Structure 1
Amino acid sequence: MQQEALSFLSSTLPPHNHHFPPFSRLRLSNFPSLSFKPNSSPSSIFFPPNPPDSLSSAPSAAGTLETDIHEKLLYLDTLGIDFLTLLNRHPPLLSSPLSAVKSVVDYMTTPPINFSLPDLRRLVSMCPELLTSPLTSHTIPVITFLLREVGVDSTFDLRQALRRRPRLLACSVDLQLRPTLYFLRGIGILEPRRHTYLLSCSVEGKLLPRIEFFERLGFSRRSAAAMFKRFPQLFNYSIGENYEPKLNYLLGEMGRDVREVLEFPQYFSFSLENRIKPRHVACAGRGVRLPLAVMLKTKEDGFRDALEVQFVLNDSQELKRMKKPVVSAYILREKGR
């Protein structure tokens, strides 16, 4: 096979016996000629013509770019935005026209959007792409999508959504926001306007892997999805840094059933070191077992009260169990008489 390929290649190559014209016949039209005027001194040489205007205009183009950058720096400085810091994080800002930047700023800071300058600075610091995204083909479609398709009720709620998740402004409606919206509705989250922070999450990269994690624990897809429907914030937690250590403690130290998190997925929202462990230790010290919701959701005073009540109930039940055999023996003894 290799020999055939070599034969084919050699047959397609041109022959080696090229006939090049002698060097004396080559035209040197591309090289400047040095000629002397009649009766002139040897120093009077005719040089080639000046370079084209395009080359001579390069310094002016560089000057225009420098001016544009300087004006952009001054403009952003008036807004309280550090141009150089932002440029370090988002280099495309360097080539973005000042007019385009101004259009975005005007749109975001005037009615109906009407962000304040402090809010705008926060948005830009967390999402510098806002200043370089095309206004009509990107930013306005994102705003329209949130209002019309997601169902954000008002510009006030819109501002709240963007304050919470500025990265929404960097997402494509067709490639990111709309597919995630359909996914959330598909698992039963029927009011996504309350959870707009999830719309910037990748379905394949973030949302599905978290549902599949609970499926690997033995939950059905329907049961696992129901957890996220009941507590959508669960999507925001890390598998390795949140789910796994808290489940290990639940099953190991606490000796509880994993199915308890189906009813109370908010378990994962509490700090393991500052809430879950201290409350469990307090319960174990009194021999009390409280439902997860009661153990974790109640404030400290309410938790202590619940602990005492359950301890008393447990104590009274234990007394009843201890008395029951004595009473039964007494009844049998009386019948024997």
Structure 2
Amino acid sequence: MQAAVDFRSLRLPFFSRTTFLQSSVYWSLSKILIFIFEFDLNNFTFVCGLCLKFMNTSFECQLAEIMKGELTKLPLPQKVFFARAKFAESGIDGSFSLRLVPPTLLAAEKEEAKAVLTLFLKKQGLNNAAAARTINKSDSLVDHLVSRLHSVHKSRYLVGRELTTLEIRDALIPYLETLLEEYGAILVDVVENFPNPPAKEKTEENVPEVENSIVPVSAIIATLDPKKQKALSRVSDTSPNGKLPPHIIYLIELGMEIKAIREVIRKFPAFAYYSLEGKIKPIVEFLLDLGVPKEDIPTILTKRPQLCGISLTENLIPTMAFLEDLGVDKKQWAKVIYRFPPLLTYSRQKLKSTVGFLYETGLSEENVGKLLTRYPNIISYSVEDNLRPTAEYFRSLEVDVAHLLHRSPQTFGLSIEANLKPVTNFFLERGYSLGDVATMVSRYGALYTFSLLENLIPKWDFFLTMVYPKSELVKFPQYFGYSLEDRIKPRYEILRRCEVKFILNQMLSLSEHDFHKLVKNRMQKMISE
């Protein structure tokens, strides 16, 4: 259970703590919020939004982040935003986290989020003009998408590692798909009016308005789809018999938090009705027998609860045998399933289609098997919409497609117009030839997965301040994979102060011990000469 939050000790930005303590209304609000925070985090942020509306206060404020019982003041230059939808297929437990980031990085992340949102809207049928109009009205949602990035990739921010465009896309697309699933035809209205979806306002209008009253939690739950509401009631303490179903208790004993179970059921209501002995337990025991660690089971079920609805003997085991025939390493099934649980839920036709394309590119049978084992997500890419057009694009650059697929399969999930062409043009505009670009991507397949604004441009700008010729990047494009602040700048500063020269590869790829040892040797050699 989430740790309780003492709202009496908080420094709330929108009214003073003294006023808060003196006001019985605000005190009532705090008690309601504490209760909801502890027992219903899914609706916590939504209730906060309603409370702020109730107070009818206009302000620019700082929002206290609530995550695992800790509160951190977070400066937000724009609106405070709230959201009820959670990540689908992400393994995130629903809590959110914002981190302090430099203004330039925050601006870059917003542009990346806008690009992802634009592509998603176009995929739903909007033309360029309509998508652009919607994006211009989506500031609140874009802010929220950025906060989602910080939540999903918290560890990356802590160590200063760069997010790739693909990582940004993979973090945001599942969330947007959740919005689409929940709101369907009114998605555009939801994007433009976030966090106040039109469909929800109608339901809220039916709630009686009493002066100085608080919207009850039951009224908020009532806004759910009846099917989802009924399914969710099976994991609440207010069920008719007052007991949780056996399969819910079993999942909790496996280490799955009640919030995560509720989120799974919200995305996939049928999961609430799966029997323990007939569906869930056999799949869990099967995964454990494959070598999947017990602590990984909750993550797998959260990402793909549909696994429990698949017959072991008629579907799951035959699919695994089919994939083993294609080269998937049977000793690696535990890792493969953890990396991409949906793999075993795809049809045989889909698997054959993707594998057939891989053979078309020139990949050997051995490398196809290695690719499916190392990066099973490749099955999720559409052959006609992603894989084939991307292969044709790289062939136009005279890149060895089979080699690139083997080295960096995630590149084939990127948009040609939004990701690939801008990166190619970036290098062409700086004096590199198509041959140079082909050499760079062949040597470092992940090159195209990096963000222009957050990665390539700032690192290029710093590269120009160093004494290396441009050809050095053709020899060592891996330069763009190192952290600018944590690796590139510190090491170059050491070389500059010691008046020692290294090639770019030596400067960055050596371990700390070997780097300093080589610097010391070079200095001693200079002194002896």
TM-score range, shorter chain: 0.5 to 0.7
1:268 aligns with 2:480: yes
Give the 5 Å matches for 1:275-314. 275-298=487-510, 299-300=514-515, 301-309=517-525, 311=526
Question: SS at 1:113's partner residue?
Answer: coil
Map Cα deviations across residues 235-271 of structure 1 (whole Å, 9 max, x no partner).
233333332332333334x466666434432222333
Q: Which amino acid aligns with 1:152?
A: L
Map Cα deviations across residues 161-217 of structure 1 (whole Å, 9 max, x no partner).
123322101122222222222222221222524435233333234322322333454
| Distance (whole Å) between structure 1 residues aligned to residue 311 and residue 479 of structure 2 | 49
Q: Do the aligned partners of 1:167 and 1:200 also contact (CA within 8 Å) in 2?
A: no
Give the 5 Å matches for 1:18-37. none
| Distance (whole Å) between structure 1 residues aligned to residue 275 and residue 347 of structure 2 | 18
Deviation at 1:224, TM superposition (A): 4.2
Counterparts in 2 of 1:180 and 1:191: CA distance versus 1, 3 Å? closer
Map Cα deviations across residues 266-320 of structure 1 (whole Å, 9 max, x no partner).
22233334432232122211234444234334542334434554x459xx7xxxx
Give the 5 Å matches for 1:1-337. 71-80=278-287, 85-90=299-304, 93=307, 99-108=314-323, 110-111=324-325, 113=327, 115-116=329-330, 119-135=332-348, 137-146=349-358, 148-155=359-366, 157-190=367-400, 192-193=402-403, 194-195=406-407, 197=409, 198-217=411-430, 219=432, 223-252=436-465, 254=466, 260-298=472-510, 299-300=514-515, 301-309=517-525, 311=526
Q: Which amino acid aligns with 2:329?
A: F
| Distance (whole Å) between structure 1 residues aligned to residue 327 and residue 282 of structure 2 | 21
Counterparts in 2 of 1:295 and 1:130: CA distance versus 1, 3 Å? closer
Q: Which amino acid aligns with 1:79?
A: F
Counterparts in 2 of 1:244 and 1:297: CA distance versus 1, 3 Å? same
Deviation at 1:125, TM superposition (A): 2.8
Question: SS at 1:174's partner residue?
Answer: helix
Deviation at 1:76, TM superposition (A): 1.7
Q: Do the aligned partners of 2:441 and 2:447 also contact (CA within 8 Å) in 1?
A: yes
What is the aligned-residue RMSD (CA, Å)? 3.6
Q: Do the aligned partners of 1:142 and 1:173 also contact (CA within 8 Å) in 2?
A: yes
Deviation at 1:73, TM superposition (A): 2.0
Deviation at 1:120, TM superposition (A): 2.4
| Distance (whole Å) between structure 2 residues aligned to residue 217 and residue 278 of structure 1 | 25
| Distance (whole Å) between structure 2 residues aligned to residue 70 and residue 143 of structure 1 | 35
- Specify the structure having the higher radius of gyration (Cα): 1
Q: Do the aligned partners of 2:320 and 2:344 also contact (CA within 8 Å) in 1?
A: yes
Deviation at 1:139, TM superposition (A): 0.7
Moved over 6 A (4+): 81-84
Deviation at 1:69, TM superposition (A): 8.2
Q: Do the aligned partners of 1:162 and 1:168 also contact (CA within 8 Å) in 2?
A: yes
Q: Which amino acid aligns with 2:422?
A: P
Q: Which amino acid aligns with 2:448?
A: F
| Distance (whole Å) between structure 2 residues aligned to residue 84 and residue 70 of structure 1 | 17
Structure 2 alignment gaps of length 5 or more: 1-271, 289-295
Counterparts in 2 of 1:127 and 1:80: CA distance versus 1, 3 Å? same
Counterparts in 2 of 1:111 and 1:96: CA distance versus 1, 3 Å? closer
Give the alignment's TM-score, normalised by structure 1.
0.58
Deviation at 1:143, TM superposition (A): 2.1
| Distance (whole Å) between structure 2 residues aligned to residue 85 and residue 263 of structure 1 | 40
Number of the residue aligned with 2:120: none
Counterparts in 2 of 1:69 and 1:184: CA distance versus 1, 3 Å? farther
| Distance (whole Å) between structure 1 residues aligned to residue 277 and residue 440 of structure 2 | 53
Identity score, percent: 26
Counterparts in 2 of 1:72 and 1:203: CA distance versus 1, 3 Å? farther
Give the alignment's TM-score, normalised by structure 2.
0.39
Question: SS at 1:80's partner residue?
Answer: helix
Counterparts in 2 of 1:289 and 1:114: CA distance versus 1, 3 Å? closer
Q: Do the aligned partners of 2:476 and 2:505 also contact (CA within 8 Å) in 1?
A: yes
Count of aligned pairs: 244
Q: Do the aligned partners of 1:127 and 1:169 also contact (CA within 8 Å) in 2?
A: no
Number of the residue aligned with 1:16: none
Q: Which has the higher contact order (CA 8 A, sep 6+)?
A: 2
